[in-house]
Amino acid sequence: MSAMEQIDVLVIGSGFGGAITAYHLAAGGAKVVVLERGPWLGTDDFEHDFKLGSSYTRAFDFVVGDGMSLLGGNCVGGGSVVYFAAMPRAPRFIFERHGSIGRRMWPGAINRDTLDPWYDRVAEALPVHTQDWNDVTYAGGLWGAMCSHSGRTANPVPVAIDNDKCTNCNWMMAGCRFDAKRSLLLNYLPAALAHGAEIRPLHEVQHLTRTDDGGYVVHYNLVDDEDYRIQTGSGTIAAKMVILAAGAGATPVILQRSEPHLGRMPHAVGRYFSGNGERLNTAVIDEDRVREVLGLGRQDGLPYGSNQIGKGPCVANWDRLDGSLPEYSRFSLEQLYFPPGLGTILAQVPGGADPTWFGAEKKDLLAKWSSWLTIFQMIEDDNEGVFGPPPPTGNATRISQQMLGRGALSYHPTANTLRAWAMADAEVRDIVERDGLAEVAAWTNDVVGAYTVHPLASCRIGDDPSTSALDDRHELRDHPGIFVTDGSAVPCALTVNPAMTIAALAERAVPGIVGAARERGIDVRYGAPSPEGETSARRGTVRLARDLAAG
């Protein structure tokens, strides 16, 4: 029998939470292995189609639950490969939210001021910049003009995009062929590799067990690179420390499946899930009215053709991100391109009384597809989601060869969440239907329930052990040496795209993880620069890092 592989730190997942921690720990001298469930795709693998087996279906994980469906990344680089690269910081009021528990959800040590230096580190590493109006697409400009026409403001969205490389091809969700989108494949992950970390794709972690010396054994299955339902083998790795960053739809499932081996999990593991309050509306633009009222047109014919040219979200309305407003009445509205497939199924005929799947009205709606404007809402939800018993393997029961699975998440919106969605729907209608510019309808929840591309909070940080799975250093309560650094650690919906906050929290968690690693006998240091060697943002976190490392 061969000896089990022994390492210092095992990182589960290679998205923002996994890549950032892997880089810093490897750069600090630890022996780090990253296990990623999905394939390792590169620039040449990203295809401009939506065919089965293309990068689009290989790189996504779509899990249908009871009342909520999750769309996430499933590849090396995780969600950063398929995200739209929108990187706003969470509003100040978010950190004071009470939500369903009636008291502050966030740890006392974290607020917008204490997180800003870590946001700065991420902005330097990727880097992130705020677009100006010359950078936005026609779709973004149209949304901005509609907001202005209705007396609202509009803002170009901060992004992690190299505009010099961007071709406005509008295929961001299938991966960027031009390396214009600053995914983790271009910064933290190659930097981690350069410092000796190993990344192993198609390794799906199942559960953890404990070693006699207080470390952990990670049990995994090997996944076929074409049919994710097929397991081609299994294995184990022993590690002194484990970083869970498999995503808010998978991290709690791994911990639930580990409970018989590790002992009782904190009550909040698999509870308080948030879909980031997300909802989509489709507006069908009246081309003539846009030309007459707003004076907008395109030289090549149609004044609006969102799906032939452009990129992801470029312009947002943030008027309702006002901390003086009551909780559940604050939200953002963001212009968004969403590709065909799920969007064409769930988009509804404006003015229809019931969900429409087929017939003359739906056919006419689809015929106007090039004149759709999709508006993305992010409201404050009530953290209603709860994960039931885990499936036999993985985070879901696989239904199709790639992408599609059935999960154990149950999500039933409260009256607070429903009112917030209705308020955001009304705001969208008032903006886009003014003076006959468009007709709009929200996507239906009747097929796959509510839906999110930004799952959060299923193993959240906090000060109260009864409502949080992690302490403010991201360590799993009652299970020393296990840390969670992905979106599941974020306590609540953010009212904006969450990637920047997930990344900043991961950066903030690293000094404490390094301190805990040293206590566990790992020879590791903290203090690596940004992946490209920049150090200016690091100087702003020196004292904070020292305090976190000291615990």
pLDDT digits (tens, 9 = 90+) for 486-501: 999 999 999 999 999 9
Beta bridge partners of 18: none
For residue 168, what pLDDT is reported? 85
pLDDT exceeds cutoff 50 at 1: no
Q: Which helix (H) or strand (E) holds 116?
A: helix 112-125
Beta carbons within 8 Å of 401's beta carbon, 6+ residues apart: 52, 53, 226, 227, 228, 229
pLDDT exceeds cutoff 80 at 526: yes
- pLDDT category at 342 given cuts 50, 70, 90 is low
- Nearest CA-CA partner of 131 in 93, 161, 94: 161
- Say how far apart CA 347 and CA 306 lie, in whole Å: 15
For residue 454, what pLDDT is reported? 96
For residue 2, what pLDDT is reported? 65
Q: What pTM value is reported for the model? A: 0.96
Residue by residue, DSSP assigns 192-260 as HHHTT-EEE-SEEEEEEEE-TTS-EEEEEEEE-SS-TT-EEEEEEEEEEEEEE-S-TTTHHHHHHHHHH
Q: Which two structure tokens, joined as six digits, stand for 35? A: 């296990």
For the stretch 60-87, pLDDT in tens is: 999 999 999 999 999 999 999 999 999 9
Mean residue pLDDT of the chain comes to 91
For residue 341, what pLDDT is reported? 65
- Average pLDDT of the residues in 418-437: 97
Superfamily name with CATH number, domain 6-549 = FAD/NAD(P)-binding domain (3.50.50.60)
For the stretch 233-274, pLDDT in tens is: 999 999 999 999 999 999 999 999 999 999 999 999 999 999
Interstrand relation of 60-66 and 404-410 (parallel, antiparallel or unpaired): parallel
What count of other Cβ atoms lies within 10 Å of the Cβ of residue 151?
A: 10
For residue 544, what pLDDT is reported? 66
Cβ–Cβ under 8 Å, residues 79 and 73: yes
pLDDT exceeds cutoff 60 at 18: yes
- Say how far apart CA 139 and CA 438 lie, in whole Å: 13
For the stretch 464-520, pLDDT in tens is: 999 999 999 999 999 999 999 999 999 999 999 999 999 999 999 999 999 999 999
**Selection from 217-226, 284-293, 533-542 with the highest mean pLDDT:** 217-226
pLDDT exceeds cutoff 70 at 138: yes
Q: What percent of the chain has pLDDT over 90?
A: 75
pLDDT exceeds cutoff 60 at 301: no
- Say how far apart CA 459 and CA 455 lie, in whole Å: 11
pLDDT exceeds cutoff 60 at 306: no
All structural domains of the chain with their residue ranges? 6-549
For residue 353, what pLDDT is reported? 63
